[in-house]
Homo-oligomer: A and B are copies of this chain.
Amino acid sequence: MKSVSCAGLCGLLFLLSIITTAQADEGFWLFNAPPLDQLKSKYDFSPDAAWLEHLQKSSVRFNNGGSGSFVSPTGLVITNHHVGADALEKFSGSEHNYLRDGFYAATFAEEKKCYDLELNVLESIEDVTDRVNAAFPQGATSEQTLAARRKAIADIEQESKKTTGLRSDVVTLFEGASYQLYRYKQYTDVRLVFAPEAGIAFFGGDPDNFEYPRYNLDMCLFRVYENGRPVHPEHYLRFSPDGPSEHELTFVSGNPGFTDRLATTAAIEEHRDIWLPILLSAFYRKEVLLDAYSARSSDNARKAREELLRVQNTRKALAGQLAGLLDPQTFQLVSARQDSLEKEAAKDPRFSGLTDSYTQIQKAIETSRGDFVNYLFYEGLIPRSSLVLGIRNRPLGFDSQLFRFARGLVRAAVEQKKENEKRLPEYRETSRETLELLLFSEAPIYDDLEIQQLSGSLTNLVTRYGVNDPLVKDLLQGKSPHDRAYELISGTHLKDVQFRRKLYQGGLPALNETNDPMIKFAQATDEMARRARQAVEEQNEVCQTAYAQIAKAKRAIQGNHFAPDATFSLRLSFGTTEGYEEDGKSIPAFTDFAGLYERAAQHDNQSPFDLPKRWLDRRSALNPHTPFNFVSTADNTGGNSGSPVVNRKGEFVGILFDGNIQSLPTDYLYTDKQARAVAVDSRAILEALDKVYQIPALVAELTGKSVN
């Protein structure tokens, strides 16, 4: 699964092949700087401005970590089932299990409004590099440049938001060599229209995740509303009834999370030796606890399902990355890449500082190691995740939704008293709508699961820091992790949305007055969390400056043929539908429905290879040769989940939902030898809607043809 909860975590490599030079279909390109030369020379294709605008404005970012697109004139948005699953799970109670059983609203009135889903459509991109750079004081400390950068960015965002009314985010590219202002239309009234059963959306479960061949109908449909009515988007993608053909050029438009294709050997060693082992150890513990919780009853299994899938997905990605990094060959390749750039740079006096840049990065990493660990346990999973995840971020020490509410409220009260530019980004005026959507979500919260998760993460904390660590002692108040978690979860009133609203509106005085134990607890964690975040961000500032030098040298030496690293903002990638070789076997580009039934039969229709009843009952109605999933060489990473795949005509031919296991390492080193994006074919979606779910209305809405 390629949603952004994994993205950014998906940051390492185990490339066994030779590094390819940028001949291949590499790159997450900006819509305002598309790879026109490459497309022209390799594919004889020249998209014009209208083509690009149409695709850009049909594309949708799911702020919970994925991508999607408008696919009908009345506001239908398609994304992956696993991107929508978060919303589906929140709807499901002990009476309905929409996640397991699927959902369809035959009328607008039946469409179900999501609790806290926010969609963004990119309206424009503006280059603001000069304006940001002008704000940097000469010879400043990293603390000063961090403050200056933050202020410049906040000012630009605030001004843009004021003028245009649009969500305005300044995106840092090439590690600071370029800054772009992205303006988005925000939609917060999003309603569920259709979802298939989890059993077909995620057929094969964890065993098949990141594998190919695949047989997943990983899609669902939402409808976007404004002022209580479905929107009529100016741009939307029309479903192609023909899908892609083999070797055909197609495009992926989505929001890849994070890549690190400039990473130095020092950065990669740090990931291999410090970051990945700490994270993996926490994820293994968490997966076992969730598994054990789920095994206790089917109701538990439903409550924990989304979280368990997210954890399994991330664990599989992280374990694959660690496995790759533990291969000495990987390190040799990264090392060779670095040496070769240094050697080239040495010939040109403009880049005489390059070696210093590498040294600075190494020093910054070493200096900030302690802060970095504190960051993981007290603040969140990865430094850059703060920007995207905001109050969704999950520190390893405090894994609980009620804790996240508490932290959001505690920080909002403090931050909102500051000047806008001096706030943490997720509390700025430009983020207010997002913040409030999350803080006041009515999504259900399960006390027993919360206790289990908080207890497990407090165990992480105390195991890391020791029972005698003064802050840990203070946080646990003389209790065991379990007892403390029980006390906090059963004692807090934060489950009550009205209580959260009251605290939010009451600001600091209200917080100081309340005796809510979770608020007090979140306050007690805050100084350490903020200190770690500030320290890590200052060190990142140092790294960023050094990386910007490396990026400049690389662009100058290797030409302008490479795109910036992914930043969970809209990008265009391209490739062709191609099979590949694995262990001497040829893996074909397409699968079909016949293959689905075969695979289920091979596993005696046992979970996770069991087909939903509808799929068994309606088998004979389906054309078994309908292409189901396909693979493409298009560059992709976490966050690309739900991205539309379109053809030269700009038609929707598929929806990306995964990368194969060989694609995990491309976050560090791209290759198209075996790495592939995995997508659902548009033909499979139409055939399933028509023959299995028997919903001609949706087929008509997607294809623009009237109902037979």
Q: Does A479 contact B (CB under 8 A)?
A: yes
Chain B min CB distance to A571 (Å): 31
A483 to B327 CA separation, bound complex (whole angstroms): 8
Asked if residues B296 and A207 are in contact (CB atoms below 8 Å), the reply is yes
Nearest residue, chain B, Cβ from A283: B288
Chain B min CB distance to A490 (Å): 13
Asked if residues B459 and A297 are in contact (CB atoms below 8 Å), the reply is no
A73 to B481 CA separation, bound complex (whole angstroms): 53
Q: Does A323 contact B (CB under 8 A)?
A: yes
Q: Does A467 contact B (CB under 8 A)?
A: yes
* CB-defined contacts of A482 to chain B, threshold 8 Å: 323
Asked if residues A295 and B207 are in contact (CB atoms below 8 Å), the reply is yes
Knowing A281-B281, A287-B288, the reply to whether A295 touches B480 (Cβ < 8 A) is no
Chain B min CB distance to A1 (Å): 15
Chain B min CB distance to A179 (Å): 37
Query: Which of B205, B280, B285, B462 sits near A295, CB closer than 8 Å?
Result: B205
Identify whether the interface residues of A are mostly helix, strand, loop, or mixed: helix
* CB-defined contacts of A296 to chain B, threshold 8 Å: 207
A273 to B459 CA separation, bound complex (whole angstroms): 12
* CB-defined contacts of A285 to chain B, threshold 8 Å: 280-281, 284
Q: Does A298 contact B (CB under 8 A)?
A: yes
Knowing A281-B284, A315-B288, the reply to whether A608 touches B467 (Cβ < 8 A) is no
Knowing A323-B481, A467-B328, the reply to whether A206 touches B281 (Cβ < 8 A) is no
Q: Does A604 contact B (CB under 8 A)?
A: yes
Contact with B along A218-238 (1 / 0, CB 8 A): 000000000000000000000
Contact with B along A428-467 (1 / 0, CB 8 A): 0000000000000000000000000000000100110011
Chain B min CB distance to A79 (Å): 26
Asked if residues B326 and A462 are in contact (CB atoms below 8 Å), the reply is yes
Asked if residues A322 and B479 are in contact (CB atoms below 8 Å), the reply is no
Q: Does A506 contact B (CB under 8 A)?
A: no
Knowing A292-B206, A295-B205, A315-B288, the reply to whether A459 touches B603 (Cβ < 8 A) is no
* CB-defined contacts of A328 to chain B, threshold 8 Å: 467, 476, 478-480
Contact with B along A676-691 (1 / 0, CB 8 A): 0000000000000000
Interface hub of A315, A324, A326 (most chain B Cβ within 10 A): A326
Knowing A479-B328, A480-B326, the reply to whether A288 touches B295 (Cβ < 8 A) is no
* CB-defined contacts of A280 to chain B, threshold 8 Å: 285
Query: Which of B281, B284, B295, B603 sits near A297, CB closer than 8 Å?
Result: B603
A316 to B482 CA separation, bound complex (whole angstroms): 15
* CB-defined contacts of A315 to chain B, threshold 8 Å: 288
Knowing A315-B288, A467-B328, the reply to whether A323 touches B480 (Cβ < 8 A) is yes
Q: Does A392 contact B (CB under 8 A)?
A: no
Nearest residue, chain B, Cβ from A462: B326
Asked if residues B295 and A206 are in contact (CB atoms below 8 Å), the reply is yes
Asked if residues A326 and B295 are in contact (CB atoms below 8 Å), the reply is no
Asked if residues B323 and A459 are in contact (CB atoms below 8 Å), the reply is yes
A206 to B289 CA separation, bound complex (whole angstroms): 11
Asked if residues B281 and A480 are in contact (CB atoms below 8 Å), the reply is no
Q: Does A657 contact B (CB under 8 A)?
A: no
Nearest residue, chain B, Cβ from A606: B298
Query: Which of B292, B327, B459 sits near A326, CB closer than 8 Å?
Result: B459
Asked if residues A284 and B295 are in contact (CB atoms below 8 Å), the reply is no
* CB-defined contacts of A291 to chain B, threshold 8 Å: 291
Asked if residues A298 and B478 are in contact (CB atoms below 8 Å), the reply is no
A479 to B459 CA separation, bound complex (whole angstroms): 34
Q: Does A14 contact B (CB under 8 A)?
A: yes
Q: Does A277 contact B (CB under 8 A)?
A: yes
Nearest residue, chain B, Cβ from A458: B326
Asked if residues A327 and B603 are in contact (CB atoms below 8 Å), the reply is no
Supplied contacts A205-B295, A326-B459, A328-B479, 20 more A-B pairs, CB within 8 Å: A207-B295, A207-B296, A272-B467, A277-B463, A281-B284, A284-B284, A284-B287, A284-B288, A288-B288, A288-B315, A292-B316, A298-B604, A322-B459, A323-B459, A323-B480, A323-B482, A326-B480, A326-B481, A327-B480, A328-B476
| Nearest 8 pairs of A and B residues by beta carbon | A327-B480, A284-B284, A207-B296, A207-B295, A277-B463, A284-B285, A326-B480, A284-B288
Pairs A–B under 8 Å by Cβ, sample size 15: A14-B480, A281-B284, A284-B287, A288-B288, A298-B603, A298-B604, A323-B481, A323-B482, A326-B462, A326-B481, A327-B479, A327-B483, A328-B476, A328-B478, A328-B480
